[in-house]
Structure 1
Amino acid sequence: MTFALYGNGVSRGVTIGRVLCIDDAHDDITHSPVSSAERGAEAERLRSAFETVREDFQHLRLHVPSKAPNELRAILEVHMMLLDDPALIDAAVGLIETRGMNAEWALVETADLLAEQFDRMDDPYLRERKHDVLQVVARVRKALAGHRRITAPPLDDLPPIVIARDVAPADMIEYRHMAEGAQKAAGFITEAGGQTSHTAILARSMGVPAVVGVRGALDRLVDGDLIVIDGEQGVIVVQPDRQVLDWYRARVLRQSDEKAALGALRSRACVTIDGRLIELHANIELPEDAIAAINVNASGVGLFRSEFLFLDRDELPDEDEQFDAYRRAVSAMGGRPVTIRTIDIGADKMLRVPDKRMDGTENPALGLRAIRYSLAEPKMFRAQLRAILRAAVYGPVRILLPMISSVREVEAAREQIVRARAELTQRGQPVPDDVPVGGMIEIPAAAVALRAFTPVLDFLSIGTNDLIQYTLAIDRADATVADYYDPLHPAVLALIARTIEEGERAGVSVSVCGEMAGDPLLAPLLLGMGLRNFSMHPAQIPYVKQALLACRHDEARQLADAVLAENDSRVIRSLLAAARPAALRAAA
């Protein structure tokens, strides 16, 4: 009988395959007391399992396929660090030695305690890192049981679609890239995870359909079930009848044609039908991501999220380490501009460095974050600014100040830039004469008072994610109010339109670098508002380019006027859907 399951679609695409269940989370754990005489040997058995997994990860790291996403290498490094974390291995060994637990029992007990600590964290990014611990523990449990490599059993001519409570990055690479004598996984479905889970991040990077947060998937599906996964809509169709299956097969064929067409667009400039040139930039988090930007022919890097160099570590990166990261990104872009945002710490991204923690902040989204934090830590801020200025010798670089709310902050930041430049000059290190300084418009106060900012900033970048959050008073990390987070709220659109208009009036370039920039449905609307610079995840660039190539600026302007005159986001969605070019509607 045909039925459907629903979750969060996190990686676009449709695929048809057969279920391969990986039900590690449901394995029974034996609780066997260990005698005093046996505890030393049991502790050594656990340490040996950790060493086995460490060897597995080292092997994976050395043999990551060249086409694997850069994010995978970074995540493997994090998991290798967890293997050496005393909070995991030493705590588990302690339970063996003091309470006589067997290795499996001690390991799971320790993992459960750590998971509870992560669950109590306000930071959604850190809450998701709970899954890193659980994934590493699952790997160690397999080693304790004598299982090493994971291989997908052969099914038929249809590829496997992996169903699991969660999928560890190391497992994803084996299923997707390193399955020997077995078909590669064509999609992933997990019961856990969200938009920021590793499953979601890696699936998007690999271009593999994925749906996460599918409750009861492991209870409702069995190995060999025929399923269809729609990674954009978040729908899984189980045991589809012939009519439904034929319809999805046609979608898969159209999808292949679409990918081929998108690939053919790579070398084309992004110009509307009536001749408006649009620049499409990439958002990156690590210097290696610049390769993905080049692969889709991005105009440059519109947002280098530098804070990812600071996260998940016990000490801050020094100036030289930051310089090396920025230089590598700038050099990889080969003369295309790179916009480096200064550290945006706070809210959903918190430092782990002991003397730099922000514990005790009751509402981190409204606390000491972003530019406020940098100005409160001038020594750290100038070290970052010196690293950025040094990297600017290797190609065009722009400095972006996050979460500005007053001209005073911009002036104070510029003073620090002047001091950083002077410190480099005193050392005898070269510094470019002109490094533009811009500000992120993500607080309503900045959008409303924009005329005060345009004389002191060289460019503007609209951060739509936080702009929505602060305009609507919605904590985007709070699932209980998630339905109120609305990019098409009339107030949000009015602030975006106002910022673009004021920037154009003052002769200051404006870009959008939030999630809205990477949505093909919104591309005509932003174009009609006057936007000429979009910045997004590299994987989204072909889709947005396709949408913009099908646009006429005059029609987009009419659409924007109609949308801005509305006060109901439901009507706005209808207007956007109706305005979508016919060719793109057919492709969808």
Structure 2
Amino acid sequence: MASFTLHGIPVSRGIAIGRAHLLTRAALDVKHYLIPEEQVEAEVQRLQKAIATVHKELQTIWNELPKDSPAELGAFIDVHALILSDPMIAEVPLDIIRTRYYNAEWALVTQIDELSSQFDEIEDAYLRERKADIQQVGERVLKVLTGTAATQLAGSSTDEATGRMIIVAHDISPADMLQFKDRAFGGFVTDLGGQNSHTAIVARSLDIPAAVGMFNASALIQQDDWVIIDGDAGVVIVDPTATLLEQYRERQTRLIRDRKKLSKLRKTPSITEDGTEIALLANIELPEDCAAAMESGAAGVGLFRSEFLFMGRTGVSHKLPSEDEQFESYRKAVLAMKGRPVTIRTLDIGADKPLDDAEQTALNPALGLRAIRFCLAEPQMFLAQLRAILRASAFGPVRLLVPMMAHSFEIDQTLAMIEQAKTQLREAGQKFDPLIPVGAMIEIPAAALTLPMFVKKMDFLSIGTNDLIQYTLAIDRADHEVAHLYNPLHPAVLYLLSSTISIGTKAGVPVAVCGEMAGDVRLTRLLLGMGLREFSMHPRQLLAVKQEILNSDLNVLAPQVKKILKSYDPVAIAEAVEQLRGE
């Protein structure tokens, strides 16, 4: 068989080499047939029994989680259990059986397809990829219904002498990952998924090379094929030549050696060659992520995405996390960081994922009622979250970060609601930090272009480069038709970045970058040269970025970057940025 290469989405660094092991799936393509009226309740009970069986499976998996498992695994299993309990899964398919006389499998798939289409409309990339969780839960129930409950690896034993096992699947759930944890398991290749899919998050937490979004990899790759995963590039090479295999083995050995060297930098202060201190913080999704942040030597949490607490609750608005539930989660993170600051971002979802089923999905969610717009439109929900964050600030340094602000009145209304939340807590006799810093995410071009009104009223700024690039270039990052236009080095993006850092710094307002650019070592020196002094990224990226900082001299970088910012030639800019790392 001739060698061929597949291109997908890089989600976890490193190189994996091994034999392909295909993971069979209970496809959502099932038999469709109508059942007689007298058998309706028996069919309803068959589906109910399958759902109950999956509940038990998930509970057993959760109870048997190895102590050294990443915290994300337990959390994602909890999410799957929540989805399974949701009336949209647990009750609506039963109604479909009773009213349309569909067989159980058909009824379940009909509802899964309906929910999946709703998730396709979501603008937020993290939330949109929760569609995969619903489909994974559906597949687990289908496996019970069809009698294929055990997720099987196609035969063939792993030959330790010749290579580790590379899992190739259409998609894989966090629960299914557990069965491979103690095996000679080197990496993942999946047809589905994106940067924020659970497969990607767990791959990063396990520090396992993975490439997702490969579309038809599971159809093209055959059992026992030799496979190379280049996690940095999101490339999978199938049946490589002997020469190519040897080259990647050498690269893999070099990467492992470099990783070991990086680990020695954990306690090294993050200071440039010219003596400038740079703050390196971690982005987290769960309080349990704080362990990885501490292990990487992070100076704090620069972005706690609070949306995760609201996940897995589709269609059950009455089950939104209570103030106390949120408070416990925030407090856990604050305590885990042992005195280091924790920046908590307020809820960043909206009309693209209605909390009430009666609400209409926005026609263009990216430009709709989302983030702070949504929170200001739902004051009681917002006040509950603000009180929870404020209460957590009594246990350690907390910073409150507000997403997607662009208007002066949004700033004023948000600050007024924070004061209202403080008053409510005082009246209730609850402790909080009265001087909690309040910051704005700069992710809309309008905000970057009117920064003076932000620096007058906010204590700090954090640039969300993912959305800033998306809005500046008017593209949807998740749309494969235009994804190639997503370019962090576009002159307009660089102008907005540099001017935000410059204006904030001159006003004495700290500026951070918490988007993907912060963790990209190819851009570290560019951002340093712009004047950035605070980076926030996934904990796994932190030491590599620190190494770049330790080898940088701002006196050399600043004039070079100033010259780059004057250019409008994309090729020249890319070459100049690459040359920064050669200094």
**What TM-score results when the alignment is normalised by the length of structure 2?**
0.91
Which of 330, 333, 346 in structure 2 is aligned with 1:329? 333
- Please say if 1:414 is aligned against 2:396: no
Give 3-state SS (helix, strand or coil) of 2:232's partner.
Answer: coil
Q: How does 1:370-385 map to 2 (within 5 A)?
A: 370-385=371-386
- Please say if 1:300 is aligned against 2:300: yes
- Please say if 1:164 is aligned against 2:166: no
- Please say if 1:352 is aligned against 2:355: yes
CA distance in 2, matches of 1:492, 1:297: 30
- CA gap of 1:150–1:185, structure 2 versus 1, over 3 A, is farther
**Runs of 4+ that moved beyond 6 A:** none
Give 3-state SS (helix, strand or coil) of 2:482's partner.
Answer: helix
Residues 296, 541 of structure 1: 8 Å contact kept: yes
CA distance in 1, matches of 2:479, 2:269: 40
Greater shift in the superposed pair: 475-484 or 292-301 = 475-484
Cα deviation 1:484-520 (Å, max 9, x = unaligned): 2221111111111111111221111111111111111
Residues 29, 105 of structure 1: 8 Å contact kept: yes
- CA gap of 1:472–1:96, structure 2 versus 1, over 3 A, is closer
Which of 311, 315, 321 in structure 2 is aligned with 1:317? 321
CA distance in 2, matches of 1:386, 1:28: 46
Greater shift in the superposed pair: 513-522 or 438-447 = 438-447
Question: 1:201: which partner in 2?
Answer: 201
- Please say if 1:479 is aligned against 2:483: no
- Please say if 1:395 is aligned against 2:396: yes
CA distance in 1, matches of 2:390, 2:93: 46
Question: 1:266: which partner in 2?
Answer: 266
- CA gap of 1:95–1:156, structure 2 versus 1, over 3 A, is same
- Please say if 1:155 is aligned against 2:154: no
CA distance in 1, matches of 2:346, 2:43: 48
- CA gap of 1:288–1:37, structure 2 versus 1, over 3 A, is same
Question: What is the identity, as a one-letter code, of the residue corresponding to 2:164?
Answer: P
- Please say if 1:343 is aligned against 2:347: yes
Question: 1:541: which partner in 2?
Answer: 542
Residues 422, 434 of structure 2: 8 Å contact kept: no
Residues 270, 549 of structure 1: 8 Å contact kept: yes
Q: How does 1:123-522 map to 2 (within 5 A)?
A: 124-150=125-151, 152=153, 153=155, 154-157=157-160, 158-175=163-180, 177=181, 179=182, 183-313=183-313, 314-315=317-318, 316-346=320-350, 350-354=353-357, 357=359, 359-522=360-523
Deviation at 1:191, TM superposition (A): 1.3
Residues 79, 132 of structure 1: 8 Å contact kept: yes
Give 3-state SS (helix, strand or coil) of 1:303's partner.
Answer: strand
Give 3-state SS (helix, strand or coil) of 1:308's partner.
Answer: helix
- CA gap of 1:239–1:363, structure 2 versus 1, over 3 A, is closer
Deviation at 1:54, TM superposition (A): 1.4
Question: 2:573: which partner in 1?
Answer: 572
Deviation at 1:530, TM superposition (A): 0.8
Give 3-state SS (helix, strand or coil) of 2:440's partner.
Answer: strand
- CA gap of 1:450–1:93, structure 2 versus 1, over 3 A, is closer
Deviation at 1:351, TM superposition (A): 4.1
- CA gap of 1:33–1:440, structure 2 versus 1, over 3 A, is closer
Unaligned runs of 5+ in 2: none
CA distance in 1, matches of 2:123, 2:564: 36
Residues 104, 144 of structure 1: 8 Å contact kept: yes
Give 3-state SS (helix, strand or coil) of 2:308's partner.
Answer: helix
Question: What is the identity, as a one-letter code, of the residue corresponding to 2:376?
Answer: L
Unaligned runs of 5+ in 1: 583-588
- CA gap of 1:218–1:25, structure 2 versus 1, over 3 A, is farther
Cα RMSD of the aligned pairs, angstroms, is: 2.5
**What TM-score results when the alignment is normalised by the length of structure 1?**
0.90
CA distance in 2, matches of 1:554, 1:62: 55
Cα deviation 1:316-346 (Å, max 9, x = unaligned): 3232222212111111111101112222233
Greater shift in the superposed pair: 309-318 or 488-497 = 309-318
Residues 526, 580 of structure 2: 8 Å contact kept: no
Residues 123, 477 of structure 1: 8 Å contact kept: no
Q: How does 1:27-42 map to 2 (within 5 A)?
A: 29-30=30-31, 40-42=41-43
Give 3-state SS (helix, strand or coil) of 2:135's partner.
Answer: helix
Cα deviation 1:89-123 (Å, max 9, x = unaligned): 44444555566655444444443444444445566
Residues 155, 224 of structure 1: 8 Å contact kept: no
- CA gap of 1:33–1:494, structure 2 versus 1, over 3 A, is closer
Question: What is the identity, as a one-letter code, of the residue corresponding to 1:266?
Answer: R
- Please say if 1:19 is aligned against 2:20: yes
- CA gap of 1:369–1:83, structure 2 versus 1, over 3 A, is closer
Question: What is the identity, as a one-letter code, of the residue corresponding to 2:80?
Answer: H
CA distance in 2, matches of 1:33, 1:429: 59
Deviation at 1:168, TM superposition (A): 1.5
Residues 25, 165 of structure 1: 8 Å contact kept: no
Question: 1:51: which partner in 2?
Answer: 52
- CA gap of 1:501–1:95, structure 2 versus 1, over 3 A, is closer
Greater shift in the superposed pair: 25-34 or 184-193 = 25-34
CA distance in 2, matches of 1:256, 1:142: 39
